[in-house]
Structure 1
Amino acid sequence: MTAPLGDLLESWTLLPSDEQQVMLRLRETLMTRIAPVLDGAWEKGELPDAVLASLIPLRLMDPPELKGRTLSALYSGFRNLEIARVDASVATVYNLQAGLFRTVVSRGGSGDQFARWDPMIRSFAMAGAFALTEPDHGSDIARGLRSEVRRDGSDWILNGAKRWIGGADRADRIAVVARERSGEVRCLLVDPRSPGVTLRRIERKTSLRIVQNFDITFENVRVSDDWRLAEVSSFGDIARCLREMRADVGWIATGTALGAYEAALEYALRRSQFGRPLTSFQLVQERLTTMLGHVSASLALMLRLTQRQTSGKVLDEDSALAKSWITARLREVVALARETCGGNGITLESRVARFHADAEGIYSYEGTYDINSLIVGRAITGYSAFGGAPHDVASPLERNR
């Protein structure tokens, strides 16, 4: 498999040969069927049917090349990276199903629920979305969760509102997180066509325009207990899902930075100024070197995080550090990429413009830079800056005794 120009250390070679073959199929589809429609889709703020119609048949969650072998965490990471390398919105859309929805069902559902629903999730026979953020509570959702659910016989009654819910219009089920009056947290798989569910698309976005996000309200929505994820009873159960979701975003951010670097390099190689190739100028070379360094360091961090995930040792601060640090480097990379392309860097034809705008959405979703930094800070110091007890977690010294 040919490594992308931005994979200086040839990290692709860590994938087994059969997984590399899947990536080659994915890359060809992305370049021939999806890339040509992206500029128009971004400008219109629409998700073309061709995107999922091209990706779903690839069976990326259970590739035929693997003949039933369990996918490695490294494969899932590179899958996200490969898609984001072409477009961050497409990677986000695919990860809504393969990452967010599948993760919450696999971690929050019982063994029987996962066995029943996962084949449908892998094939997109059950398209899903994940609803946690609320209109008035984002970063403080753990304590600020206001959506309420109560038991009514063999059913649950759901009331509340959610915001920024991606892919809700295409979902067969939306995993909705809500709290009982007793304080326990539940996650229900809600049919968006149920009476009492109202979806309103969020318009006029300037980032991740191809992703369709929605405000959702729930008014006395009745949900059978069969659709309650059996292993979710506290926000800690949701936090375990978020730990994995942040890792997915780290891969998407790395792929987006890689795509921006490659787009800027491609532009610089074909552009001339003052009678000389743009790549012959020292400042341009310095920008390209900085971008490549950020991409390489981000990829190395994600590789190590994935190793820890595979060993079962990953902690909240591990994925939080990756998400915060890599998305901050992503912002630097896309800024340098746009600068390398000059005025043409704000046009869709340069490809850099999409990466430049979409980086802002990635920087904020699945935990802002500030929140993830504070998660790491709590682990470093033993002090929580979120409020509450002044010394409510073990310090590094205490953990290492």
Structure 2
Amino acid sequence: MPETTTPPKKFTTKADFHHTARADRYQFHDYYLVDDLLEDHHRMARQAVRDWVKAEVSPIIEDAAMRGKCPTHLFRGLAEVGAFGPSLPVEYGGGGMDEIAYGVIMQELERCDSGLRSMASVQGSLVMYPIFKYASEEVKRKYLPKLGSGEFIGCFGLTEPDAGSDPGSMRTTIVDDGDAYLLNGAKMWITNSPIADLAVVWAKDEEGKVRGMVVDADAPGFSAPEIHGKWSLRASITGELVFENVRVPKGNVFPDIRGLRGPLSCLSKARYGIAWGAIGAALDCYDSALRYGLEREQFGKPIAGFQLQQKKLAEMITEITKAQLLAWRLGTLANRGEATPAQISMAKRNNVHMALEVAREARQIHGGMGITSEYPIMRHLMNLETVLTYEGTHDVHLLITGHDVTGLNAFG
């Protein structure tokens, strides 16, 4: 894929996008009254994000996706509604909320677009979280407040061209060079990388141990070419990371974490948010399908009155409700510090697969209109094909559950 000849402008503006005159008619659906299980501060956090999305993002998201242009000016808005590191301490740039609040925020963002939620997931779970968890106090104070405010944009470098589901086979390396490490290698499919101010990067040291570090994007030898031609997550910017003898100050390397436990803990944090976020995409598809089914008439009555359409709608809301309860229970466990990586893996796999199936059924209910930008269905459908794969593929998550229940490792 071709690289950009000039680096993209970091922040867009409202004027860069066409604003649709169509109102965001989304209505939240809660068949089992799961809302009763939430606390007031969860609802307040969700409502703040919902209002912001309807006012600032919904009017431009179709244009952004159609053009493949990331609305980077939304980073400041995401920060203002508490979408970056919601469950991290306030003193380190987070929101000081609990894990359920983090979940409902991700749900509202992905209700609009998976790319929007990806922007927030990467910033909070894959950049701020590892810095908070593993970096020195000096590094925390240097980066976290600016990441939390949206002044800095971060990205997460783990996946490589030849190391996807098997991160242990990564080839990116760091070598001791006196007062710094020399970083060499490449990362692939990195959300936010072409516009990032910094990257949390994972590489192998001279002993073959995986180490994490913060790398400034303006360091000599650091480049982040954009990946073009995506049919999915088109409102989110994706690129590579290329390191050619990049000098990383030793203080920027996480001091006490070695091995895959570090990056995998970050992935668990992100997967948790995806388990909630995917429900939002499913809800948007269901809401649109229900409304379309009630308004569209064929053979003298609304198509929602036909048995096949009612079957689809009934199955959709059933699966959404099951996913809502799964996410809420996972959030309760996470708040108690008891959610295991395998439990998070199951929720990510189940809820994303559910959302993809809901999007497919919704597309059929919309008929030919379902593939147009008049409705969000096809955009969600394309996005969810990627969400099914990133942060662990559907099949890999099945093997994680299989390993957990049998005690037998099927990975190799």
Letter in 2 for 1:91: R
Alpha-carbon displacement from aligned partner over 1:133-180 (angstroms, at most 9, x marks no partner): 001110011x21110011111211100000000001222110010001
1:47 partner amino acid: C
Q: How does 1:220-369 map to 2 (within 5 A)?
A: 220-369=245-394
2:28 matches 1:28: no
Q: SS where residue 211 of structure 2 aligns?
A: strand
2: CA distance between counterparts of 1:278 and 1:82?
A: 28
State the TM-score, normalizing by the size of structure 2.
Answer: 0.88
Equivalent residue for 1:102? 128
Deviation at 1:378, TM superposition (A): 0.7
State the match for 1:134 in structure 2: 160
- The C-alpha deviation readout for 1:193-241, integer Å capped at 9, x for no partner, is 2211122211111111111111221110001112112232211222222
Report if the CA contact (8 A) 1:34-1:54 is conserved: no
**Equivalent in the alignment of 1:394:** none
* Matched length: 382
Please state how far the C-alpha of 1:51 moved relative to its aligned partner: 2.8
Which of 144, 148, 162 aligns to 1:122? It is: 148
Q: Cα distance 1:205–1:67, how it changes in 2: closer, same or farther (>3 A)?
A: closer
Q: Matches of 1:56 and 1:118 in 2, distance apart?
A: 12
CA distance in 2, matches of 1:285, 1:71: 39
Per-residue CA deviations over 1:45-79 (Å, capped at 9, x if unaligned) read 1112443343333344588xx99983010000000
CA separation in 1, counterparts of 2:239 and 2:72? 18
TM-score, normalised to structure 1, is: 0.90
Q: CA deviation at 1:100?
A: 1.7
Instruction: Indicate the residue corresponding to 1:10 in structure 2.
Output: 33
Is 1:75 paired with 2:97?
no
SS at match of 1:218: strand
Percent identity of paired positions between Structure 1 and Structure 2: 30
Quote the Cα distance in structure 2 between the aligned partners of 1:202 and 1:91: 19
Secondary structure, counterpart of 1:349 in structure 2: coil
Which of 53, 77, 87 matches 1:54? 77
Q: Note the C-alpha offset of 1:304.
A: 1.3
Whole-Å Cα distance in 1 between the matches of residues 248 and 73 of structure 2? Answer: 33
Say if 2:122 and 2:270, in contact at 8 Å, map to a contact too.
no
Q: CA–CA distance in 2 between the matches of 1:32 and 1:378?
A: 45
1:67-96 Cα offsets, whole Å, 9 max, x none, are: 998301000000000111111111111222
Q: Which runs of 5+ in 1 are unaligned?
A: 388-401
C-alpha distance 112-313 of structure 1, shift in aligned 2 (>3 A): farther
* Matched-pair contact (CA < 8 Å) for 2:85–2:125: no
**What is the aligned counterpart of 2:110 among 84, 87, 90?**
84
Q: 1:179 to 1:306 in 2, by over 3 A?
A: same
Amino acid at match of 1:24: Q
Question: 1:4 offset after TM fit, Å?
Answer: 4.6
Alignment partners' CA distance in 2, 1:298 and 1:114: 35
Q: Any unmatched runs of 5+ in structure 2?
A: 1-25
| Correspondence for 2:188 | 163
Aligned equivalents of 2:388, 2:227: Cα separation in 1: 19
SS at match of 1:182: coil
Choose which of 370, 381, 390 in structure 1 pairs with 2:406: 381
Q: CA deviation at 1:325?
A: 1.7
Partner SS for 1:177:
strand
8 A contact 1:195–1:221 mirrored in 2:
yes
Letter in 2 for 1:225: K
Give the residue type in structure 2 aligned to 1:151: D
Would you say the 8 A contact 2:121–2:270 is kept in 1? Answer: no
1:147-226 equivalences under 5 Å are: 147-226=172-251
More displaced stretch, 252-261 vs 212-221: 252-261
